[in-house]
Chains A and B, each alone.
Chain A
Amino acid sequence: MAEERVRSEMTGKVWKIIASVGDEVSDGDEIMILESMKMEIPVMVDTDGTIKEFLVGEGDEVTEDQEIAVLEV
């Protein structure tokens, strides 16, 4: 099974992780919400798959392009 890494589109902080490891997700599903500069930006997956691992936790700082989750596709 192939793996796909989900990356953060921006620099900010992980506010909430809304999916769980093992969840089956499909293209467009939101898996976590980042916040920066008073904005909440949902992270959406762009493929169908299963969440294998989160590489960040709630409250963690993330930078643009950082890998934040792993999907099995």
Chain B
Amino acid sequence: MFEKVVVANRGAAAARIIRALDDLGVKSVALYSEADENAPYLAEAGEAHCIGRAAPAESYLDQDAILDVVKRTAADGLHPGYGFLAENHEFAARVEASGCRFIGPAPRWLEAMGHKTRARDMMKEHGMPMGSSSDVLRDDEAALAAAEEIGFPVLIKPAGGGGGIGMLPARDGEQLVKMLKRARSMAERSFGTAEVYLERLLEQPRHIEFQMVADEHGNARHLFERDCSVQRRHQKVIEEAPAPALAREAVVRPADSAAGILTRMGYNNIGTIETLYDGDGGFNFLEMNTRLQVEHGVTEEITGIDIVAAQMKSAYGYRLDDIMPENVEVSGHSIQARVYAEDPIKFLPSPGPLHVFRPPHGDGIRVDTGFAEGGTITPYYDPLIAKVIVHAGDRNGAVRKLGDALDEFEIEGIKTNIPFIQETLKNESFVSGAVHTGLAEEVVASLKA
């Protein structure tokens, strides 16, 4: 196993990876920006190094600063977590060139899946089902022509990256031209390229994704699905596994087929295939994330597999049979709520001090966080402050447990989205399992009422 691994991330991701390294008996090297110097997980790492100022570009995105720590600490592995540089193929290649293992898929996979329209073309060739979409749009005229062909409403998406960032809907030509300008500007800023493309906007689809685990020897399997339909501003808020109100074979079949595709492609390490499920229309490929997912915890809870450990073992060269059992079974139901520092109705960021921060405890309750009481939620990074993950025998039990856990969660000093989550847990469609990506709007309407 690795001797020493650099954790190139912050917050809950860093805390989670440091814990996994500890469980594996691997030394950990934490990195932090000046804004995170008091983060509680730094004390749990073997060593911690400051890599620069608060702004991400001057610390967590500063490749030279991170590679310098790799060199100075003589680490033999680097775990990128999620976000920041996790899907940057140039960075991954630089890490590997320095003689340190990048704990993730090979740089060529980061590159191939990173460009969203090229990834779609590649996956389509391998037989992955797709909804209708356009190529990268040259100009407004091409966009209007493509939209006519796909049919309104359409969704403008950045080609250079995913994660729900920079997507804008358009219902007609006039709106399309107006939104394109903004979408290009957001794409340029978030992903360094103004390239955008169109996809058909489905009205009430479900977001269902498949967790894949592969080794370096041509084997790939899945760890079932997660339903992440409850989203606000295209960012996930509640994720669960297994997907509610769907026959098991209806989900397992596309998961098996996805594993087959990755095996044929020779994909390595872990990844997530995201799809939109449209009832009769089936599962249509959205994108593949070549990294650990924020919501990996719900899969860990229902399968008993430590996905971060599996990722390290795969990167170290273990065969899939030595990483996890061949027949993994689903046990019970798990739901994760992302607690964000934000206004629960307007969803606007609410950074500030954590005067009180007391996470819930109990059987079947897990809280992944990178914060502690007395800390500060700064405006520099994403608004996630904690992931509350529950596991119970069935979905109703899990919904109840999550509600109780969130009731117990004491946070003072900032606004959080807990009232929004609690309202969602009471929403009739959610309770019945009839989830869809437009659910958040219904919940906000009932919160305002």
Q: Could you tell me which A residues sit within 8 Å of B by CB distance?
A: 9-13, 36-41, 64
Given contacts A12-B379, A39-B233, 10 further A-B contacts (CB under 8 A): A9-B348, A10-B343, A36-B348, A37-B341, A37-B342, A37-B351, A38-B381, A39-B349, A40-B186, A64-B350
Report how many residues on chain B are interfacial, defined by Cβ distance under 8 Å: 18
Tell which of B165, B348, B380 touches A10, judged by Cβ atoms closer than 8 Å.
Answer: B348
Q: Mark B27-41, 1 if CB is under 8 A from A, else 0.
A: 000000000000000
Most chain B beta carbons < 10 A, residue from A9, A12, A13, A36: A36
Convert B317-346 into 0s and 1s, putting 1 for each residue whose CB lies closer than 8 angstroms to a CB of A: 000000000000000000000000111001
Tell me if B282 counts as interface (CB < 8 A to partner A): no
B338-379 contacts to A, CB under 8 A, are 341-343, 346, 348-352, 379
Q: Mind listing 26 A-B residue pairs with CB under 8 Å?
A: A9-B348, A10-B348, A11-B349, A11-B350, A11-B351, A11-B352, A11-B379, A12-B351, A12-B379, A13-B379, A36-B348, A36-B349, A37-B341, A37-B342, A37-B349, A37-B379, A37-B382, A37-B383, A38-B381, A38-B383, A39-B233, A39-B349, A40-B186, A40-B189, A41-B348, A64-B350
Bound-state CA distance A10–B350 (Å) is 7
CB-CB nearest in chain A for B382: A38
A35 to chain B, nearest CB (A): 8
Known: A36-B351, A37-B351. A9 touches B382 (CB 8 A): no
Task: Scan residues 151-196 of chain B and give those whose CB is less than 8 A from a CB of chain A.
Answer: 165, 186, 189
Q: How far is the CA of A36 from the CA of B54 in the complex (A)?
A: 13
**Given B349, B381, B382, which contacts A12 in the complex, CB threshold below 8 Å?**
B349
Bound-state Cα–Cα, A33 to B379, Å? 15
The chain B residue sitting closest to A40, CB to CB, is: B186
In the assembled complex, the CB of A14 is this many whole angstroms from the nearest CB of chain B, namely: 12
A9–B346 alpha-carbon span in the complex (Å):
9
Question: Across the two chains, which residue of chain A brings its CB closest to B415?
Answer: A64
CA distance A42 to B146 in the complex (A): 28
Tell me, rounded to whole Å, the shortest Cβ–Cβ distance linking A25 to chain B: 16
Closest chain B residue, CB of each to CB of A30:
B182
A54 to chain B, nearest CB (A): 20
Q: State in angstroms the CA–CA spacing of A41 and B349 once bound together.
A: 9
Question: Is the Cβ of B349 less than 8 Å from the Cβ of A10?
Answer: yes
Question: What CA separation (Å) do A6 and B327 show in the bound complex?
Answer: 60
CB distance from A31 to the nearest CB of B (A): 14
The 9 closest A-B pairs by CB, nearest first: A36-B349, A10-B348, A37-B349, A37-B383, A36-B379, A38-B382, A12-B379, A10-B349, A9-B348
Chain A residues near B186 (CB-CB < 8 A): 40
For the complex formed, measure the closest distance between the CB of A41 and the CB atoms of chain B, giving whole angstroms: 6
> A12 to chain B: which residues have CB within 8 Å?
349, 351, 379
Q: Closest Cβ of chain B: how far from A36's Cβ, in Å?
A: 4
| Bound: A12/B395 CA distance, A | 38
Q: How far is the CB of B403 from chain A (nearest CB, A)?
A: 26
Docked Cα-Cα span, A39 to B343, in Å, equals: 13
- Residues in B neighbouring A64, C-beta threshold 8 A: 350
Minimum Cβ distance to chain A for residue B346 (Å): 7
Q: How far is the CB of A56 from chain B (nearest CB, A)?
A: 15
- Could you say which residues of chain B place their CB within 8 Å of the CB of A40? 186, 189
Which A residues lie within 8 Å of B382 (CB)? 37-38
Bound CA–CA A38/B161 (angstroms): 14
What CA separation (Å) do A10 and B414 show in the bound complex? Answer: 12
Q: How far is A36 from B383 in the complex, measured between Cα atoms in Å? A: 9
**Min C-beta distance of A11 to chain B, whole Å:** 6
Taking the closest CB of chain A, its distance from the CB of B354, in whole angstroms, is: 15
- A10 — which chain B residues lie within 8 A by C-beta? 343, 348-350
Chain B residues within an 8 Å CB radius of A11? 349-352, 379
Give the residues in chain B near A13, CB-CB below 8 Å: 379
The residue on A at minimum CB distance from B233 is A39
Give the nearest-CB partner of B56 in chain A. Answer: A38
Q: Closest CB of chain A to B340's CB: distance in Å?
A: 9
Contacts of B233 in A (CB 8 A): 39
A34 to B165, CA, bound (A): 16
A9 to B341, alpha carbons, bound, how many Å?
14
Docked complex Cα distance between A9 and B349 (Å): 9
Question: Chain A nearest CB: distance from B270 CB in Å?
Answer: 24
A4–B352 Cα gap in the complex (Å)?
A: 28
Interchain CA distance A39-B341 in the complex, whole Å = 12
Q: Are B381 and A37 in contact (CB under 8 A)?
A: yes
| Closest-CB distance, A9 to chain B (whole angstroms) | 6
Bound-state CA distance A9–B342 (Å) is 11
CB A62 to nearest CB in B, in angstroms, measures: 10
Minimum C-beta distance from B379 to chain A (A): 5
Closest A residue to B189 using CB positions: A40
Return chain B residues, CB-CB under 8 Å to A9: 346, 348
